[in-house]
Structure 1
Amino acid sequence: MTPPQILCLAILALTLLLLVTEWLRSDIVAMLALVAFVVTGVLRPEAALRGFGSEPVIAVVGAFVLSAAVVNTGLAEQFGRGVSRIAGTRVVWALAVLMLAAALLSALTHHLLITALMVPIATGVAQRGEFPASRLLMPVSLAASIGTTLTLIGAPAFLVADHVLQEAGREGYGIFSLTPIGVALVAFSLVYMMLPGRWLLPDRTAGGGANGRRFALDDYYTELLILDGAPQAGLAYPAFVERYRDRFEVVDWLRRGDPIRHALASRTLEAGDVLLVRSTPQGLADIADEKGLALHAVAKYGEPGDANATDRFGEERLTQVVIAPHSWLVGRAVSAIDFRRRFGVIVVGLWRRDGWVRGELASAQLRAGDTLVVWGEPEQIAALGAQREFLMALPFGAQRLRRSRAWWALGVLAASVVAAATELLPVHIAFLAGAIGVVLARCLSAEEAYAALELRVVVFIAGALALGAALEQTGLTTLAAEAFAPLLDQFSPFWILVLVFGAGAIVTQVLSDAATVVLLAPIAARMAQPLGVAPEALVASLAIGAVAAFLTPLGHHGNLLVYGPGGYRFGDFFRVGAPLTAAFAAITAFVALRLWPGA
């Protein structure tokens, strides 16, 4: 071996050790490896840094921003609510609907985001059907992972695989090149989980009881004011309730301080009416985008113009505080405390573990443990945590959605996909243009776009590509291919692809899917010609093995999201996933050989 090869192997070994043990963050490890390659002379600086301007990194940046636009405009939420209604209460039907929805969404957005979105939906479906959520949560995580195989941009690993093929002198993949394999995997996983797989799922309830839901605040009470000139004025009460049923539930209706509780079907709303509603955090934050509606407390007690200052209503002006057990606030009505004068904030919402709130929110007597949503200037919000009357101050867990820009976000996303699919633009340019498009269309601000970038992932991919470049430049990729190719030469092309899939599936349990592809894809591409297999088929099998392997909760972060809420144990994933992963290997090999039949 040459000195550069020995140095490269030493850096590679240390890098893998740090990644497996997680002593340092993966992005930091990637950067350390990059610097080490330059310092030791294995790579020139321009070669080491080329990953930051590479196609995979640019495509991932665009995909992150487009995903954020889908969430920020409420498209994902609307889709989720529709799925929840369709899912019903039967286990088999719910499995099919939730898994298909998760797979389709993950084809164009980050699978971890989709898993997080689907967890409360699946839990709600399970509660309505009176069966354990463990029957749904693992299949949802599985479907979100498998759904990434439907498009090239579904997972960073596929973008890296495409980059490796192009570096090897091949044309690379199109945005839908892997779709036939993905469709087959999604279809099989649906059948598997609906028939034999669901009997392998545990009937188990997550631990934690009520404590597990202490800060899952789903039922805030707040008051809405119908403003002068509001489009809701003159609207029939039943029509108003129907229009906003996905945002909030109307609990009480006050006119000039008097409740209206009779003949509601024949009455219409008027300016000045106050509605006591029960809403989610997201629904409460969304009120700023509703013309004609305002938070009653802000309009009544705030400074002139506050009620309509929607640009100042952001989540930074909202927080939630918990009433301490021995606070002097306990037993007093909200209106008797004068929160504006004492604390510089206005109470706009109330969450209570038990009990129902009717009448004006201002007349509600506070109890220990009540959680108040308060509105105020950022400096006043920051000072609340030091007040002895409150047990703790918590960030308000919602952001204002730009629902009016939803169709713009959908249109830009569709245009990006079409441009990439028709090869009008390269995939990375199409999605970079889409990212710029959703910002220009005001689906999210430039600051929100930057915040949506998971820089840890971007930096890791850029650094990991330097690792692949070092292996290639020192000739270690060729040496590894020459060593492994004779071992596989005795197998048929089908079994070669199965074994390569298995290698990706095993390595991804200790490394990320992108790192697995960076490490092994160059070797697979080099082995293809001696083995008589198309490089596209070999690299695709490896990448899908790294993405679709469902063996342990450590293989994908989505599994960790459902681990606690589903009450799962480590072995549950292997029991359900081992036969499924073996079937995936066979399906991938079978379809890949028909997509790319020869070298």
Structure 2
Amino acid sequence: MDPQQIVFLLILGGALALFVSGRMRVDLVAMLALLALGLTGILDARQLLAGFSSEPAIIVASVFVLSAGLSATGITDRIGAGIGRAAGGSEWRTIAVVMPATAALAAFSHHVMVTAMMLPILMRLARERKLPVSRLLMPMSLAASLGTTLTLFSAPAFLLASDLLKRGGAEGLDIFDITPIGAVLVLLGTTYMLLGRWLLPRREGEAQAVDPLRLERYYTELLVEDGSPWIGRTRGEFEQAFAERLQVVDWLRHGVRRRRQAGDSPLAAGDVLLVRAPPDEIASIRDEPGLALHAVAKYGDTPREDRQAELLGEEQLVQAVVAPHSEFIGRSVADIDFLRTLGVVVVGLWRREGWLHGELSEMRLEEGDLLVLWGRQADVQSLASHRGFMMLMPFQGRRQTRRRAPLAVAIMVATVVAAATGLLAPQTAFLAGAVAMVVGRCVAIEQAYAGIDVRIFVMIAGVIPLGIAMEQTGTAQAVADLLMAHAAQWPVFVLLLVMFGTAALLTQILSDAATTVLLAPIALAVAESLGLPPTPFVVCTAMGAVASFLTPIGHHGNLLILNPGRYTFGDFLRVGVPLTTAIALATAWMARALWLGGPLLPSLPG
């Protein structure tokens, strides 16, 4: 072993120790390893910075923006709600519907975002259908991870695998090259969870404390504006159109509660609908044609005594809790006249108990009521010291540009088609798609930047030089020679299983990207020693890094469901060991069939 290999192994050992210890963020560890490779002269400046301009890093950043666009236009929420409706009331049907649908969604988005989106939907479904939530969350999380095996861009490990194949002189992977394996794994995982439901624990979900920063439903008023497309249409049509988004509680006309509120009664200009709506809908109502928040439409453009209330561009929504012994208790919103006295408008109200009816301005406030206030930043900030309020908090509602949902879908489809057909280079196609999402106003530029997980981008850019150094110093070849000295006579199928199994174990302490970068050069060297195409060996390595479900720490999505489902490490081992073993066998078999000419179906003895 030459001195350069020894130095590299010391750097690699130090990086692994820091990765495992968790004392530093993974992106910082990757940067430290990168600097060490440069300072020791193992890599030159061009090689050190190759990761930042690499295809995987650009595609990963672009996919985050594309996912943010799908989320900002409400597409992912609609799909998630549709999955919840199709799941039905039985446990087996829920698993049979949720797993393939979640996997398909994760194939074109980030699997952690998909898991986070599906989590409250399944929690609510389990509560309504009286199903143990622990029997639903784990299958959903596993499906989200398996969905990343359907397309090349859905997991950084596959992008890195393709990049390493190109660096090794082989042909890279196309977007759908791994789809046959992924489809088999999704089918296998769904079948396994349906037949092996007895392996899942039967526990009620963790009790969800009320989060004052993001409550599920608020009361607010919607005004049917002059010229609205809803004029003349019935209340039933309105409720059907907004069925998944809000609930109509009361209907006012000329300030008076309507006596006849049948579904076939037509709406008129100036009608006010008292609705229960989630925060995202309140924040997004300005984008609904012909509808407005009643209080904002009524008071927002009213001249103030001191100056014109030019709120556009600097208005914001905040939440304020009515304090004990507040001067507001027992007084109605209209009596207090929030606009004149405090410079803000009440646009929503949350009350722990009881249903509200009638005009919001006539509601008499109670201790603990949470008001949603709309006003200029300067006026809002002055409320923080007001004795009538116990606390002032940001309003946790995301504005969704639902009207641009068709455009967002079109951009996503065009991006995938352009990359899959070779019309554009993959990194160019995805970068163009991300830019189109912003230029097309599907997602705001600030939201697009916020959607990019910089840690993953920097980590990928930082670990790519580790793979280059492992190959350049000859360390990968040395490890491959050591392996072949003991396994030269093993069947290729067994060697593919070895690559999968090694990655499956290492990914429990490292990320899938880092695992792939470290082991893929060894897979390349093993294939070269055998005189075989490297693709199946590298793909099995990446699959092992992505589709291993031995512990909850192997995937971030599993960590999201750990507490809500009240799972233990033992639960994941009991469910994950047989599943991971089956996935390893299926992956090695499919990889051999796709790239080495092996049989697709097992031959029957005869």
- Is the structural similarity TM-score above 0.5? yes
Distance 1:358 1:547 in 2: 52
- In the aligned structure 2, how far is the partner of 1:277 from the partner of 1:373? 14
Correspondence for 1:74: 74
- Give, in whole Å, the separation in 2 of the partners of 1:261 and 1:493: 77
> Bigger CA drift: 260-269 or 80-89?
260-269
1:528-539 equivalent positions in 2, closer than 5 A: 528-539=527-538
TM-score, normalised to structure 2, is 0.94
Give the Cα separation in 2 of the matches to 1:456 and 1:597: 37
Find the counterpart in structure 1 of residue 265 from structure 2.
267
**Which stretch shows the higher mean deviation, 378-387 or 458-467?**
378-387
The residue aligned with 1:548 is 547
State the distance in 1 between where 2:566 and 2:351 align: 26
Name 1:29's counterpart in structure 2.
Answer: 29
Deviations 1:386-415 (A, max 9, x none): 444333333222211111111111111111
Alpha carbons 1:350, 1:372 under 8 Å: kept: yes
- Counterpart residue identity of residue 57, structure 1: A
Contact 1:509-1:555 at 8 Å conserved across structures: yes
Aligned pairs for 1:330-345 (under 5 A) are 330-345=329-344
How far, CA to CA, are the matches of 2:557 and 2:275 in structure 1?
Answer: 34
More helix by share: 1
- For the Cα contact (< 8 Å) 1:385–1:392, is it kept in 2? yes
Identity %, equivalent residues: 49
**Conserved in 2, the CA contact under 8 Å of 1:320 and 1:393?**
yes
Supply the RMSD in Å over aligned alpha carbons: 2.1
Query: Residues of 1 paired with 2:368 and 2:544: CA distance?
Result: 48
1:516, distance to aligned residue in structure 2 (A): 0.5
Match of 2:289 among 291, 309, 334: 291
Structure 2: stretches of 5+ with no match in the other structure? 599-606
- Please tell me the residue identity of whatever aligns with 2:297: A
Alignment of 1:335-374 (within 5 A): 335-374=334-373
For residues 340 and 594 of structure 1, the distance between their equivalents in structure 2, rounded to whole angstroms, comes to 71
> How far off is 1:381 after superposition?
3.3
Tell me if structure 1 keeps the 8 A contact 2:311–2:376. Answer: no
Distance of 1:212 and 1:538 partners within structure 2: 49
Deviates more, 1:160-169 or 1:216-225: 216-225
Structure-2 residue corresponding to 1:488: 487
| Secondary structure at 2:247 match in 1 | strand
Structure-2 residue corresponding to 1:317: 316
Question: In the alignment, residue 318 of structure 2 is paired with which amino acid?
Answer: T
Instruction: Give secondary structure in 2 for the equivalent of 1:53.
Output: coil
Displacement of 1:342 in angstroms is: 4.0
Distance 2:303 2:341 in 1: 21
Worse-matched range after superposition: 178-187 or 29-38: 29-38
Alignment CA distance shift 1:375-1:111 (3 Å): same
Distance in 1 (alpha carbons) for counterparts of 2:195 and 2:365:
51
Q: Is the 8 A contact 1:533 1:598 kept in 2?
A: no
Counterpart code for 2:195: L
Following the alignment from structure 1 to structure 2, what is the Cα–Cα distance between the partners of residues 507 and 34? 21
> What is the CA deviation profile of residues 332-384 of structure 1, one whole-angstrom value per residue up to 9, with x for unaligned ones?
32222232344332211111222111111122222232222111122333444
Partner of 2:225: 227
CA–CA distance in 2 between the matches of 1:555 and 1:390?
44
1:462 aligns with 2:468: no
Matches within 5 A, 1:373-522: 373-522=372-521
Aligned to 1:10: 10
Deviations 1:7-32 (A, max 9, x none): 22221111111111111111111111
Which residue of 2 is the match for residue 246 of structure 1?
244
Measured after TM superposition, the shift of residue 422 of structure 1 is 1.7
Shift of 1:562: 0.9
Moved over 6 A (4+): none
Question: In the TM superposition, what is the alpha-carbon distance from 1:117 to its structure 2 partner?
Answer: 0.8
CA deviation after TM superposition for structure 1 residue 263, in Å: 5.2
Deviation at 1:310, TM superposition (A): 12
Tell me, in whole angstroms, the C-alpha distance in 2 between the residues paired with 1:492 and 1:325. 75
Report how far residue 296 of structure 1 moved: 1.0
Contact 2:311 2:375 in 1 (8 A): no
Indicate the larger mover: 146-155 or 17-26: 17-26
| Partner SS for 1:357 | coil
Alpha-carbon spacing, 1:3–1:304, altered in 2? closer, same or farther (3 Å): farther
Q: Which residue of 2 aligns with 1:63?
A: 63
The answer on whether the counterparts of 1:532 and 1:598 sit within 8 Å (CA) in structure 2 is: no
Contact preservation (8 Å) 1:94, 1:125: no
Contact residue 499 and residue 540 of structure 2 kept, 8 A: yes
Following TM superposition, by how much is the alpha carbon of 1:214 offset from its aligned partner in structure 2, in angstroms? 5.7
Please list the CA deviations of residues 204-239 of structure 1 after superposition, one character each: whole Å capped at 9, or x if unmatched. 123335x25565511210011111222212222222
Distance 1:484 1:446, change over 3 A: same
How far does the alpha carbon of each residue in 1:182-218 deviate from its partner, in whole angstroms, 9 at most, with x for none?
000000111111111x111111123335x25565511
Q: Is contact 1:63-1:435 (8 Å) kept?
A: yes
